[in-house]
Amino acid sequence: MNPYQNKRRWKYLLLFFAIIIAASSLWYTDFLVERISKSERTRAELWSQSFKKMFETDDDEMMNYLFAVRDSLVVPAIVTNEKDSIITYVALDTSRTYDKIETDKKYDPKYFVRELKSMKSQHQAITLELNGKTSYVYYKDSYLLTQLRFFPYIQLSVIAIFLIIAYTTFNSSRRSEQNQVWVGLAKETAHQLGTPISSLMAWVELLKDKFNAEDDPLILQMENDVKRLEIVADRFSKIGSKPILTSHSVYETIKDYVDYFRVRVSDKIEFVVTGDENQEALLNIPLFDWVIENILKNAVNAIEGRGKISVNIVENLVKEQIFVDITDTGKGIPRSKFDAIFQPGFTTRKRGWGLGLSLTKRIIENYHRGQIFVKESELEKGTTFRIIIKSSLKYVPTT
Ligand SMILES: Nc1ncnc2c1ncn2[C@@H]1O[C@H](COP(=O)(O)OP(=O)(O)O)[C@@H](O)[C@H]1O
Ligand SMILES: [Mg+2]
């Protein structure tokens, strides 16, 4: 069971709950808005009735009562006559007037026209018979109701922004933690290997002297293995510090490594390196070799039996980049796993650690400022990985 399947499951589950929470919050506010809207309609109707009754009654006490009722039922409203002219209004800006006669207020008919228009668009008018003539009461949502309509959207957006910020902060701190583990472990490994390797080197020299066995194949093999150990320690020390990059021919570097590698694997696998020999890039050789080794090893693992691994180096003139395409005729990678294979711990091999490609990606992206991805892959046909690195000076052969 790999951890990424679990992670994806959690992602979907959390997304599902987030949608449920957002939807129920929207649904509930909608429900509240609906109820308040209904009660505002009732208030507008009662207000209209009391307004009407005021025209019809002579009773002072009744009048006072009606005033009290009317004033307690305030919803922003405008009353118009049959010709759509404004008769009166309520709960709007009282410093303005639609009527030129009222000189103590600001004459602002446009304001009332605007308000009337917005009221018409919101609710159906309440019809009133006043002194035998038909009038219309238009009203609009109270300020409170308007706010309530927008509230969940604002609230959810604020929560979303908060979550995004929290997520990115945690993510970046987690990433820097991971970095520290990588770097620390690499340094420690290099450090621990260092001492026994230097002693081994010395012992090999002593053996040669003692038995006068300068060309003994056993000693040569031993020396080779010690050198190999030295390379491993060197790689770890490079990962643990800021590596120095120098300009090298990409073709030469890869060709050298492939030549070293090909004799160590089954001869059923054919290796071909093609491309422009003059392309140079800033490389750290021990680390870049490690990249090529990881990809070649994976390619070898993907090929069951006979197969071919080809490396092609081409220049992308437009962007001053170099493309390194490594193609195998192995079992291929499903499209859904193109990104996942680069995550630490992802493996499909029984005895794999799933660290090769994540290390490779680190070396290419963090140490060489390049890119690596699966360019294409077809199941049972093969896979092409592409590395993109920035080209440095043109390689000029010395004459
Ligand atoms: N060339 C390839 N062809 C098919 N699958 C590949 C290839 N390269 C990598 N993979 C897949 O990516 C996984 C992760 O690779 P890697 O990080 O090197 O870890 P490991 O080799 O330990 O499994 C492999 O287990 C394999 O499923
Ligand atoms: Mg691997």
Residue 393 pLDDT exceeds 70: no
Give residues (CB < 6 A) around ligand 1: 294, 298-299, 302, 328, 330-333, 341, 346-349, 352-358, 383
Q: Among 61-75, 99-113, 295-309, 316-330, where is mean pLDDT lowest?
A: 61-75
Closest C-alpha to 291, from 386, 381, 225, 227: 386
Atom of ligand 1 nearest to the CA of 359: 17
Position in ligand 1 atom list of the atom nearest CA 385: 1
pLDDT of residue 120: 95
Among protein residues, the one whose CA lies closest to atom 11 of ligand 1: 341
Would you identify the CATH topology of the domain 244-390? Heat Shock Protein 90 (3.30.565)
What percent of the chain has a predicted confidence (pLDDT) above 90? Answer: 69
**Nearest ligand, CA 382:** 1
**Predicted confidence (pLDDT) at residue 398 exceeds the cutoff of 80:** no
* Ligand number nearest to the C-alpha of 357: 1
Lowest model confidence (mean pLDDT) among 6-20, 50-64, 370-384: 50-64
Domain-by-domain residue ranges, the chain?
Answer: 3-141, 147-230, 244-390
By mean pLDDT, which of 1-5, 8-12, 136-140, 346-350 is the weakest? 1-5
Residue among 311, 303, 271 at smallest CA distance from 380? 303
H helices present in the chain, as ranges? 3-56, 60-72, 109-122, 143-211, 217-239, 250-262, 285-302, 356-362, 368
In this structure, what token pair is assigned to residue 226? 């010690």
Of all protein residues, the one whose alpha carbon is nearest to atom 19 of ligand 1 is: 354
Closest C-alpha to ligand 1, atom 5: 333
Say how far apart CA 40 and CA 248 lie, in whole Å: 79
